[in-house]
């Protein structure tokens, strides 16, 4: 019976640690509109670095829902097979074709409309 209590406490502590780490991360990733613009533009011209791509595409922007919606649209574009270039080279982080790049350019217009 004691082992059930120990396992339960261990499980609760583990959940609390993960929740705390998620809460902290959500409050530390705060890209500005200009930083997001640079990320989108560097995705268009194939100069985005893997770390910047990973951080932007994976980390939720908790302080501004409009900017997070831009991030979600970005993810929909870069993960859509219709917009992926057929010639994929390992050095390209975001291998978009011209249609995908056009969609990202339109996303910059959506970003301009965001109020911060």
In the predicted structure, residue 24 carries a pLDDT above the cut 80: no
Mean pLDDT estimate for the chain: 90
| Residue 26 clears pLDDT 90, i.e. is over it | no
Give every CB contact of residue 96 below 8 A, 6+ residues apart in sequence: 43, 44, 77, 78, 83, 84, 85, 104
Q: What is the mean pLDDT of residues 80-88?
A: 87
pLDDT at residue 39, rounded to an integer: 97
The string of pLDDT tens digits covering residues 28-42 is 788 999 999 999 999
Angle formed at CA 35 by CA 34 and CA 37, multiple of 5 degrees: 60
């Amino acid at each position: 019976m004691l082992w059930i209590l120990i396992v339960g406490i261990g499980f609760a502590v583990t959940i609390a640690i993960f929740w705390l780490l998620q809460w902290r991360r959500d409050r530390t990733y705060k890209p500005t509109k200009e930083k997001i613009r640079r990320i989108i533009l560097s995705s268009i011209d194939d100069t985005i670095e893997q770390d910047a791509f990973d951080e932007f595409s994976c980390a939720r922007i908790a302080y501004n829902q409009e900017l997070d919606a831009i991030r979600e649209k970005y993810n929909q574009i870069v993960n859509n097979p219709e917009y992926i270039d057929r010639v994929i080279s390992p050095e390209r982080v975001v291998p978009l074709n011209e249609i995908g790049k056009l969609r990202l350019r339109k996303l910059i217009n959506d970003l301009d409309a965001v109020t911060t």
